[in-house]
Structure 1
């Protein structure tokens, strides 16, 4: 019988080897860059905590996906080993090799009592929601454990050249903070039916997601990536604690969903009032180091015929030709029972006592500005009156560099991510 060795001792020249390994991730099937070849990464770990990525290709994927169960331990022998050509894709900095599995790879079952349980490692890597904004500033991908408490109307996203399956769901943690998560393509295919079934039965299923991305667009949200790993109904001590908390707080969670508090994720998590401030003159330089800066300043609305409103989907905000109030099915997000509503956009100048910059404001922040000066845009869409009242109001404002939105409605180099009443420090 071949003696067992650890991952660190397996090299391309190693002959007749066996490792005792636990499957800690089975990632989604995807295609190689600029190639139709499909592959599925599988992440394994040994008793020393060393990880390795093994990859199954093409027709071998289905058999290996069925053979290898998440968190089960196996004796694996004589896989093909090769050096990593791009260390950015290394799953363990101490081991610069990847393995390939096929149907000839020897995989032997190990009794549960002889296995190695690594699921606590995934739990220990999870980040609390209150750390998400800091992670965003440092472009960190996060591991999150949460409850899925609602499915939102989105069914797909339309890009410049295609339509992709995508769902938006709402996650909640033990602090009762909700945040949206966009699940892309394979994650919907693998987990969508089970999530929808559980939600329809009145349950809030738990989910463990590794390498989720954090976005600041129309608030704060999360999204899956090509290399994310999603596990429904995870087990472990923290999952058990969260499950008990969810069961004891169903009414509170339901109220959050009804009130759409997930739209306030940026405010609840970033806590803008506690963020360091930047002078308007330093915005450009600061945005070279962080994606968002916070300034105290005043708005002057531009005398621009493009300022005002357009009519769009009440969920995805995409522009639609028609009148506000009409019910329709949105062909941009797939919402079945949407409503055409007014969506606002406004070019403005944001300044302090020394400098000013051109910015673009969108619906949620424009509505907040109307609220701050006791005006109703539905009955009093007077931008000159709004501009006059804003000149005496100092606001705490989050600024980021702009990207033109899908309808080409944005031209300024900076856009606003949030405004709030705040006296300058």
Structure 2
């Protein structure tokens, strides 16, 4: 390859025997290092070997900002999520949580085609050197670790797995709590080793290489008969019937500052925004948004099973009683109950722009009373914090005896 030909190439990616992708910038090579036409693969291997012996002068995660240049950090991959679909665009992304030897952590994200390119590297619980990922500030509402920056990793980032006798970064330590003592930690903010609810950034690691997990696996093998007996029993607990639950008024709900608490109220419905989108297209399995058309097969990271694009109701409504009014969001079956129609109906009325049909359904719904079970959560945007409510069940008011 001539020097001129090398200059016309913008990038050169190499796949090593450890499935690691490295980025070479041809303009940073001196003329003496340009490979000749007679030297192709052997020269590439020499370049790779020379890089693998680079000096280990690395920084800590806390020292990296969007103004830091030519940096290298030694990290451990703590968490690596599956590929996810963005709710607001056609982009796909994969989240990682990285830590260094001092316990500093940073969020990292890989987008679109780079997910496949880097799928065989950055494995959970392994150590790597990372150089020159793109560093951006991160909005507080998207932040789930104590760091004002996030890293965008792509095929231009330099990544090298740490192998051999080099000192590894200490793994995160956990303080596990038994189920017998779980009640003592209700509403606690401490990490208790098991999560009873999940969010978009939650990652589940299967069979982690930690003593507690190995001990549990050994126990399960020794007590397989006990586990089989438990599988044959009922393994679910029905949700309490909202119609028999004690209700509180809306003013009490709005005054409550506790998040993720389920409230039960009796209220009437009032839908005033007829311009809202009464539905969205989602995965038939996990209900996440998709840009695919109705009934088209989709590849969703939620499952290996075939999924299709299906409409799902999404309605914002005012709930009112004698003490006040609150805005709540209803999804799927709960929205269909108050509207007395299906999600497919709402999709068809909206697509055909039959606003008279939508308006007729809304008029029939407005003023009706139901018993709602709803859950509060915080929504943080820039410097503002809002309290929002999602309806998790809707019940008819039982007739008076």
Which structure has greater strand proportion?
1
Structure of greater Rg: 2
TM-score interval, smaller chain: 0.3 to 0.5
Q: TM-score, normalised by structure 2?
A: 0.46
